[in-house]
Amino acid sequence: MEIDRPLVSILLAVYKPNARWLIKQLISLNEQTYKNIELLVYDDCPELPVNEEYLKKYITKFRYTLIRGEKNQGSNRAFEELTKIANGEFLSYCDQDDIWEVNKIAIIMGKFIDEDVTLAFSDLLIIDESDNKIADSITDVKKRIVYKSGDNLAKELLMTNFVTGCAMIVRKDIAKKAIPFEETLIHDQWIAIIAALNGKIEFINKPLVRYRQHSYNQTGILKDVFNKKTYYIKRIEDFICRYKSLEKRLSYDHQIREPISNCLLWLNARKNYFLRPNIKDLKTMIKYRNFHKVSIIIESILPFIPESVFKFIIRLAKKGIL
pLDDT tens digit sequence for 29-38:
999 999 999 9
- 2 has a pLDDT exceeding 50: yes
Q: Which helix (H) or strand (E) holds 200?
A: strand 200-212
| Per-residue model confidence as pLDDT tens digits over 41-51 | 999 998 999 99
Tally of residues, the chain: 322
Backbone angles phi, psi at 64, to 5 degrees: -130, 155
Higher pLDDT residue, 215 or 193? 193
Confidence of residue 1 (pLDDT cuts 50, 70, 90): very low
- CA dihedral 211→216→221→224, nearest 10 degrees, is -170
- 84 has a pLDDT exceeding 90: yes
Q: Where are the beta strands (DSSP E) in 77-174?
A: 90-94, 99-100, 117-127, 133-135, 168-171
Confidence of residue 159 (pLDDT cuts 50, 70, 90): confident
What is the reported pLDDT for 182? 96
SS3 helix, strand, coil % of the chain, rounded to 5? 45, 20, 35
Mean pLDDT lowest for which of 15-29, 193-207, 241-255, 289-303?
289-303
- What gap in Å lies between CA 57 and CA 27, rounded to an integer? 10
- What gap in Å lies between CA 301 and CA 313, rounded to an integer? 12
- 59 has a pLDDT exceeding 90: yes
Ordered structural domains, the chain, with CATH: 8-212 (3.90.550.10), 228-318 (no CATH)
| Per-residue model confidence as pLDDT tens digits over 7-32 | 999 999 999 999 999 999 999 999 99
The residues near 80 (Cβ < 8 Å, ≥ 6 apart) are 179, 180, 181, 187
Q: What DSSP letter does each residue of 57-89 carry, written as one string?
A: HH--SS-EEEEE-SS---HHHHHHHHHHH--SS
The residue-averaged pLDDT of 279-300 equals 90
CA nearest to 173, candidates 195, 158, 154: 195
What is the reported pLDDT for 322? 54
| Per-residue model confidence as pLDDT tens digits over 241-270 | 999 999 999 988 888 999 999 999 999 999
Pair 195, 119: CB distance under 8 Å: yes
- What gap in Å lies between CA 59 and CA 73, rounded to an integer? 26
Q: Which helix (H) or strand (E) holds 249?
A: helix 238-250
Mean pLDDT lowest for which of 93-107, 154-168, 214-228, 299-313?
214-228
pTM of the model: 0.91
Neighbour-count burial of 289, counting CB atoms closer than 10 A to its CB (0-12 exposed, 13-18 middle, 19+ buried): middle
- What gap in Å lies between CA 287 and CA 281, rounded to an integer? 10
Confidence of residue 320 (pLDDT cuts 50, 70, 90): low
- 222 has a pLDDT exceeding 80: no
